[in-house]
C-alpha cells in the first residue's frame, strides 16, 4: 500500500520534524518518507521511485539500509545520499512537503493526526509540478527546451529510472 499526500507548514527544526515522523512511523509500523514538494513532479514521480526502491531491495542491489532512504535516492535521481538529502529533503521555514506512506496501512485520520502533531495543513496541490520544479530538480534549460509541457513528467521519471544505471 502506498499513500502520497502533500502539506504546507512552517518547519522550525528539521531534526525535530524528522524525529516526530520517525516516532509516528514506528508506532504505526509503516515507512514514511518526507520530501521538499517543490522538487516533486506529481504523484507518479514518487510512485516510480517507490517501485524502483522496492525492486532494488528485493534484488539486493540497494545502496542504503532502509526503504525510506532508498526511496529518497530514487526520488532525487541521485546515487548518493549526500546529494539526495540537500536536493529532496525537507527544509527549515515555510515549506511545501510531500509524504509517502508505505509498508502498512494508514487511515486518513492517522494522516490528519500526524499533520496536527507537525502543525501542517494538508494540501495535495503542492505535489503538482511545473517548469520551476524541473529547474529545482536540476533539469537544464536545454533539456526543458527540447520537450513539450506534456512530457515534463517523463523527464523526471527518466531521471528516477537512471539511478539503477548509475548505481
DSSP string, 78-119: -S-HHHHHHHHS--SEEEEEEEEEESS---HHHHHHHHHHTT
Range of the domain at 94: 3-166
Q: Residue-wise pLDDT tens for the chain (167 aa)?
A: 799 999 999 999 999 999 999 999 999 999 999 999 999 999 999 999 999 999 999 999 889 999 999 999 999 999 899 999 999 999 999 999 999 999 778 889 999 999 999 999 999 999 999 999 999 999 999 999 998 988 899 989 988 998 877 65
Tell me, what CATH number does 50's domain have?
A: 3.30.2380.10
- Residue 132 · residue 142 · CB < 8 Å: no
CA gyration radius, the chain = 15
Total structural domains in the chain?
1
Q: Do 100 and 32 contact (CB within 8 A), yes or no? A: yes
Q: Which residues contact 145 (CB under 8 A, 6 or more apart)?
A: none
- Alpha-carbon distance 56 to 71, whole Å? 10
Amino acid at each position: 500500500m502506498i499513500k502520497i499526500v502533500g502539506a504546507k507548514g512552517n518547519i522550525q527544526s528539521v531534526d525535530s520534524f524528522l524525529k516526530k515522523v520517525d516516532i509516528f512511523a514506528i508506532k504505526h509500523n509503516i515507512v514514511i518518507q518526507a520530501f521538499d514538494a517543490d522538487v516533486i513532479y506529481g504523484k507518479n514521480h514518487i510512485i516510480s521511485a517507490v517501485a524502483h526502491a522496492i525492486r532494488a531491495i528485493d534484488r539486493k542491489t540497494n545502496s542504503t539500509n532502509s526503504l525510506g532512504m532508498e526511496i529518497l535516492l530514487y526520488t532525487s535521481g541521485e546515487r548518493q545520499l549526500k546529494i539526495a538529502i540537500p536536493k529532496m529533503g525537507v527544509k527549515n521555514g515555510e515549506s511545501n512537503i510531500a509524504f509517502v506512506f508505505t509498508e502498512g496501512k494508514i487511515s486518513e485520520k492517522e494522516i490528519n493526526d500526524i499533520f496536527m502533531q507537525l502543525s501542517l495543513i494538508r494540501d495535495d496541490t503542492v505535489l503538482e509540478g511545473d517548469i520551476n520544479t524541473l529547474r529545482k530538480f536540476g533539469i537544464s534549460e536545454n533539456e526543458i527546451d527540447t520537450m513539450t509541457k506534456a512530457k515534463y513528467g517523463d523527464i523526471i521519471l527518466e531521471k528516477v529510472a537512471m539511478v539503477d544505471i548509475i548505481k
